[in-house]
Chains A and B, each alone.
Chain A
Amino acid sequence: MEFLWTGSWILVLVLNSVPIQAFPKPEVSQDKSLHNRELSAERPLNEQIAEAEADKIKKTYPPESKSSESNYSSIDNLNLLRAITEKEKLEKEKQSIRSSPFGNKLNAEDVDSTKNRKLIDEYDSTKSSLDHKFQDDPDGLHQLDGTPLTAEDIVHKIATRIYEENDRGVFDKIVSKLLNLGLITESQAHTLEDEVAEALQKLISKEANNYEEALDKPTSRTEYQAGKIPEKVTPVAAIQDGFTNRENDETVSNTLTLSNGLERRTKPHSEDDFEELQYFPNFYALLTSIDSEKEAKEKETLITIMKTLIDFVKMMVKYGTISPEEGVSYLENLDEAIALQTKNKLEKNSTDSKSKLSPVPSEKSHEETDSTKEEAAKMEKEYGTLKDSTKDDNSNLGGKTDQAKGKTEAYLEAIRKNIEWLKKHNKKGNKEDYDLSKMRDFINQQADAYVEKGILDKEEAKAIKRIYSSL
């Protein structure tokens, strides 16, 4: 679990060193009152519901979960809000598709007509009344109960808008207006972009959650949803620390609590998947296919690794080391690799979404793609041994896994060289493309023959065949 510690340690560092400020704070006193008010755990239920509605978050969230969500104490500018409220409609949907990460929103794919539907019927009476209240508010500066909108609210509104319109241009328009008016700086615009992106992700993940909930095992998930939400939201809040006067200690302690909580949990790991799983649909499928009873430990470790990885990427995006697009494309690459494994191993056809995603990563960095392939084969190999493992002996892990890793690397490298040489060799000849399927057949045949003769063991043969079939 060292990864997790490193991750959380870095998280802590970042939080301590970078107070992120997205919006200017014109009125400090008001901030304080708001802030103090929001810190109280004893907020009236109605208020919380109102806030939840204003944020345009799905109603499947249990109301009490909102208590731990932090709110910004800063006030946004009039123009921004006006622009939003003009366009805003109160909508909620149950989405049935999992959309691609926001970076691909630029391509304006996956336009679903259902997004534009106004869902009025499905909500309880209190909400509809609140809707009315909201619409009465001309400048949109205030929440349903009259309190001014917080920055987070705004972010969420923008995110929702983008989600509904499926058009990133909304954001661009708003931001350009703000920039032109000199109300925000470039860096603030970037940070706003990040916030909106994250809010968008949340939205998407919630959509995905509901969809999966409907399809898959409902029990484990709904069970944990309540507990999961506050934990998930807390780091978001913690990161957007710049808006609050919260003590750093509190933030740190929250973070630590979070990571401790994550660590202590064994079964509850599944609940963490929800938000991140928008990036890893195939990973989730893979997870579910692992028998929880038999290989709980492996499952847990896999989940932890994925979580840590996602945290890292988030960290880097937040820190500005990489752009969100890069982070997303990296995660897409990873998911692609997982997709390959899943496809081969579980024989599911999950290529639809992948084909959409693939143009983007391939243009990005070839190193990443190559390493993904290698990873893919590595994971392939290890997944194969994982499935067939019957031993519980952990003491031998160290030396043996080193050897396994080295062997797989060596085999992969050898196969790569072979394919390269064959390609080059055949170019000189008459054929343009060497016959991959013939090669595959030949390799399959040879591998089987070798297993029979005791030259290869079954695992190796399987791995080799898989590597070739994934080419």
Chain B
Amino acid sequence: MARCRGRVLLALCAALVAGGWLLAAEAQEPGAPAAGMRRRRRLQQEDGISFEYHRYPELREALVSVWLQCTAISRIYTVGRSFEGRELLVIELSDNPGIHEPGEPEFKYIGNMHGNEAVGRELLIFLAQYLCNEYQKGNETIVNLIHSTRIHIMPSLNPDGFEKAASQPGELKDWFVGRSNAQGIDLNRNFPDLDRIVYVNEKEGGPNNHLLKNLKKIVDQNAKLAPETKAVIHWIMDIPFVLSANLHGGDLVANYPYDETRSGTAHEYSSCPDDAIFQSLARAYSSFNPVMSNPNRTPCRKNDDDSSFVDGTTNGGAWYSVPGGMQDFNYLSSNCFEITVELSCEKFPPEETLQSYWEDNKNSLISYLEQIHRGVKGFVRDLQGNPIANATISVDGIDHDVTSAKDGDYWRLLAPGNYKLTASAPGYLAITKKVAVPFKPAVAVDFELESFSERKEEEKEELMEWWKMMSETLNF
């Protein structure tokens, strides 16, 4: 007994010493929190997930902690800086962080694009820690996910806005304060409006994918684009993302393209060519969130029109028209399929509710991640086995093509069904293959394309052979 007491006292002394040192030391916090001294409570829950709001320094710390814990499978990088100079931090989780392995699809989560929509930001921080923990525990689902996917998590695209929103005193946060970036730009209205172009092309003929070709320079020179927007556009162009989700707040629904109505009216179901798979993807998120998918749920606000909501999902245009949004930009400028998830009726709910939001959403977040391994995937190569980058993979009946990445790898998300896939590239003869696509997993289909010149050579040889045969037969 005395021994135990002794040890307790010893531990107390240890704490004393540590405490004493700290009293003497002066901490230097980079990017010190804004005015409004918030007493920082460390609600240490299981496995180092602290269910509290993270300001910019804490956000950085949290990501660094995840990296430190899982150095083998994680990497932190930044896609650029916000207007006020905060890094737009991304944590990447993969079995070979920093490297695109041929055939490994790339996924991204982006949160807090509207600075005052805070739940997404926090959920993504929790998710990063959760994935690291579960991986180390040997959770098979997570281990397989991390080994087969490259997961990029950007907790906040608008850190400046968040600081503004979080600095408001009291628990009730304004509906608008902190929404836009530091320049007052609503980032989700700031992307080049490719929907407009597509709608024109639909009428007059023209592509409906990769509409940003050759426009990179234009993007850089466009003064109307916020630095955050530009950073994301470059990010999308550089990495061959396959699937993505954009986390918001203010309602509870999973929203899919198109966001902008075709006719320009306020509400109109505006389906995109991949409406079927998008519905499936959105449902993959909402169905695991008990509140979101509850058919008897009362609307967030009394007079809300949620008539377009089906099983916790909605078409963007059907709900309300959003021009210049990031979701549609992804679909129309790259191979990436993105949905918008509204996570909470309240944009900036009280800190005590964060844990319950995590509980409600963690299965959805994982389920949505797994959707990337659906449809068809494979390589496009030439006859010598060399990869053909930027080959076009089109699906018969779906007016939307994807392209192969640098290693010739491609991924085509498809709802279950029978499809004809065609791979083509300039200078090559196209090849079409029939594929039966299940719900999951993805079916592997590779293409070996013959170039025109090879074909010509072949034909020439054939001709020579025929001539030889003829001459032998006819004796000339």
Please pick, from B25, B30, B40, B70, the residue contacting A399 in the complex, using a CB distance under 8 A.
B40
Interface centre among A305, A391, A404, A450 (most CB of B within 10 A): A305
Quick check: B30 and A415 within 8 Å, CB to CB? no
| Closest Cβ–Cβ distance, residue A88 to chain B (whole Å) | 35
- Complex-state Cα separation, A464 to B89, whole angstroms: 19
Query: Which of the 9-residue segments B1-9, B172-180, B196-204, B225-233 touches chain A?
Result: B1-9
- Interfacial chain A residues near B136, Cβ < 8 Å: 417, 421
**B140 on interface, CB distance cutoff 8 Å:** no
The reply to whether the CB of A407 lies closer than 8 angstroms to some CB of chain B is yes
Interface residue B69 (Cβ < 8 Å from any Cβ of A): yes
* Interface flags, A367-411, vs B, CB<8A=1, else 0: 110011001001100110110110101000101111111110011
Contacts A379-B18, A391-B26, A455-B89 given; does A442 touch B71 at CB 8 Å: yes
Given A326-B6, A406-B40, also A386-B68 (CB < 8 A): no
Question: Quick one: which of B2, B23, B29, B87 contacts A322, CB cutoff 8 A?
Answer: B2
For the complex, is B236 an interface residue (Cβ under 8 Å from A)? Answer: no
Which of A371, A399, A455 is in CB contact (< 8 Å) with B14? A371
Do the beta carbons of B27 and A400 come within 8 Å of each other? yes
**In this assembly, does A312 line the interface, its C-beta being within 8 Å of a C-beta of chain B?**
yes
Determine, out of A37-45, A93-101, A137-145, A313-321, the stretch whose residues face the partner at the interface. Answer: A313-321
Whether, in the assembled complex, B13 has its beta carbon less than 8 Å from a beta carbon of chain A, the answer is yes
Q: Is the CB of B69 within 8 A of A404?
A: no
Chain B residues 55-108 with CB under 8 Å of chain A are: 57, 60-72, 76-78, 81, 87, 89
Residue B11 at the chain A interface, CB threshold 8 Å: yes
**Selected contact of B78 from candidates A297, A322, A455, CB within 8 Å:** A455
Of B5, B13, B40, B76, the contact of A309 (CB 8 Å cutoff): B13
User: B22 to chain A: which residues have CB within 8 Å?
Assistant: 378, 382, 401, 404-405
Q: Is there a chain B Cβ closer than 8 Å to A453's Cβ?
A: yes
- B72 to chain A minimum Cβ distance, whole angstroms, is 7
CB proximity of A11 to chain B, nearest CB, Å: 14
Q: Which residues from chain A contact B476 at a C-beta distance below 8 Å?
A: none
Please give me the residue from chain B that is nearest to A386 by CB atom: B25
CB closest residue in chain B, given A376: B18
Shortest Cβ distance from B37 into A: residue: A399
B26 touches A309 (CB 8 A): no
Q: What are the residues of chain A within 8 A of B6 when measuring CB–CB?
A: 316, 321-322, 326
Give the total number of A-B pairs whose CB atoms are below 8 A apart. Answer: 175
Tell me which of B16, B23, B29 has the highest count of chain A C-beta atoms within 10 A of its own C-beta.
B23
Distance of A348 from chain B, by nearest CB (Å): 20
Query: For the complex, is A304 an interface residue (Cβ under 8 Å from B)?
Result: yes
Chain B residues near A391 (CB-CB < 8 A): 26, 28
- Closest A residue to B14 by CB, please name it: A371
| Chain B residue at minimal CB-CB distance from A464 | B68
B17 contacts chain A at the CB level, 8 A cutoff: yes
B5: which A residues are within 8 A, CB to CB? 321
In the bound assembly, the distance between CA atoms of A334 and B20 in angstroms comes to 14
Would A455 and B28 count as touching, CB distance under 8 A? no
> Which of B26, B69, B81 has the largest count of A CB atoms less than 10 A from its CB?
B26
Whether the pair A401, B23 counts as a contact (CB closer than 8 A) is yes
The answer to whether B24 touches A302, judged by C-beta atoms less than 8 angstroms apart, is: yes
Does A410 contact B27, Cβ atoms closer than 8 Å? Answer: no
Contacts A371-B14, A400-B29, A454-B87 given: A305-B68 contact, CB under 8 Å? Answer: no
| Max chain A C-beta neighbours (<10 A), residue from B60, B67, B68, B70 | B68
State the Cβ distance, B44 to closest chain A Cβ, in Å.
Answer: 9
A171 at the interface (CB under 8 A from B): no
Quick check: is B42 within 8 A (CB to CB) of the other chain? yes
Are the CB atoms of A382 and B13 closer together than 8 Å?
no
How far, in angstroms, from A313 to B18 measured CA to CA in the complex? 16
**Docked complex Cα distance between A406 and B87 (Å):** 22
Q: Which of A375, A421, A450 has the most CB of B within 10 A?
A: A421
A330 near B71: Cβ-Cβ < 8 Å: no
Contacts of A443 in B (CB 8 A): 71
Q: A367-B7, A372-B14 are in contact. Are A302 and B65 (CB under 8 A)?
A: no
> Whole-angstrom distance from the CB of B46 to the nearest CB of chain A?
13
Inter-chain contact A417/B69, CB cutoff 8 Å: yes
- Decide if A334 touches B17 in the complex (CB within 8 Å): yes
Chain A residues with CB under 8 A of B39: 399
Contact of A415 among B14, B68, B72 (CB under 8 A): B68
A112 on the B face (CB < 8 A): no
User: Which chain B residue has the least Cβ–Cβ distance from A378?
Assistant: B18
Is B18's CB under 8 angstroms from A460's CB? no
A457 within 8 A of B: yes
Which of A312, A320, A401, A455 is in CB contact (< 8 Å) with B64? A455
Residues of A within 8 A of B78 (CB): 453-455
The 8 Å CB contact of A298, one of B3, B25, B29, B72, is B25
B48 within 8 A of A: yes
Q: Are B23 and A406 in contact (CB under 8 A)?
A: no
Complex: A210 Cα to B3 Cα, angstroms? 36
Asked whether A109 is an interface residue with its Cβ less than 8 Å from the other chain, the reply is no
Interface flag for A418 (CB, 8 Å):
yes
B48's contact among A297, A385, A414, by CB below 8 Å, is which? A414
Residues of B within 8 A of A422 (CB): 72
CB–CB A367/B2 < 8 A: no
Complex Cα spacing A308 to B18, Å: 13
Asked whether A403 lies within 8 Å of B9 as measured between CB atoms, the reply is no
Q: Is A301 interfacial (CB-CB < 8 Å)?
A: yes
CB<8 Å pairs between A and B, sample of 17: A305-B16, A321-B5, A326-B10, A334-B17, A367-B7, A378-B21, A399-B40, A400-B26, A401-B23, A401-B26, A414-B48, A414-B64, A418-B72, A421-B70, A455-B64, A459-B28, A460-B64
Q: Taking beta carbons and an 8 Å cutoff, which residues of B are in contact with A?
A: 2-3, 5-7, 9-11, 13-14, 16-18, 20-30, 37, 39-40, 42, 48, 57, 60-72, 76-78, 81, 87, 89, 136
